[in-house]
Amino acid sequence: MMEYGGSELQHRRIARQKFVKRALLTVIALLLVLLFFKLGTILRSAAIFPIRQVYIYGNSVLSSGEVARAADLEAYRSMLAFSRRKAAAALLRDRRITGVQILKIFPETLKIYVIEKEKKMLLKSLKGAYWVSEDGTVLAPAEESVAAESSAAAESAFMKGPFITLILDNDDTKVGAPIQGFMAESVISSLKELEQEDLSLYRLIDSVSVGEAGIFVLLGKMRYRVYMGSTIDLAKFKKLRALLAVLGRADDPDRADDYARGDGGTMEIDMSFSHAVLGKGE
């Protein structure tokens, strides 16, 4: 029979003690995790510091109900369980929201401040009329009274941009999502560039129509109808500005009024080629 010395037995005893300690620590850690999740569940359902008042500020595109649902407020009954970080992250997943601040005021009040994308253009599509942001995000359905009118109604609703008429067979307009389609996307990006580069020309635009035939721009109080072809960009707008300077000022109030009354008709301009082709509309 093999005998072990005292040092060997002591070494084995220490190893067994370490193993037991590690096992106990693991069990304790698991119990603490389970306790933590159990406590979170209790706090969610318990009426400890219940949320009784919610104030929402800064929203004009989204309703207060939409903001509350996006923040998942119904999942929390307790101020202690409510997570500002998670609620803010949930709100920012909505493309219409660019900034969020949430305040917890004990014992029972939440204050939610949101920053939304601004209404920039009015989109008329096969599905109806919508407000659209500068980057092409569909913000919300437009009021019927605004959608039925022309630029005057848009101005009364604090609209600064031109109308955009989107007529496509694959119209996938969806609130909270970007406008779909290559031509529609190019219209959005080129208008954004034009506003930064040439604000006076940008403000002359009455509407931009996107259809199977291509892109049409109506400007100067319907004085000019410009066919852009299947693409539109800042370079074409610069050529159009130069052409308008030769033809006469489209923003001349007197002459523009004549055309608005129908006295001057509408001039057709084809800019789908490298050079412009002029014609007289009916």
The reply to whether omega before 107 is within 30° of 0 (cis) is yes
Confidence of residue 125 (pLDDT cuts 50, 70, 90): confident
Whether the per-residue pLDDT at 223 is higher than 70: the answer is yes
* Per-residue model confidence as pLDDT tens digits over 27-62: 888 888 877 766 666 555 556 788 889 999 999 999
Q: Report which of residues 190 and 143 the model is more confident about.
A: 190
Higher pLDDT, 197 or 35: 197
Instruction: Give the single-character DSSP code of 50.
Output: B
Asked if residues 117 and 98 have their Cβ atoms less than 8 Å apart, the reply is: yes
Mean pLDDT of the chain: 80
More confident call, 128 vs 256: 128
CATH code of domain 121-280: 3.40.50
Dist CA 60 CA 281 (whole Å): 41
pLDDT digits (tens, 9 = 90+) for 236-254: 999 999 988 888 755 454 5
Calpha distance 180→127 (Å, rounded): 13
pTM: 0.71
According to CATH, the topology of domain 53-116 is: Ubiquitin-like (UB roll) (3.10.20)
Distance of CA 191 to the CA centre of its chain: 17
For the chain, domain boundaries: 1-45, 53-116, 121-280
pLDDT at 249: 55
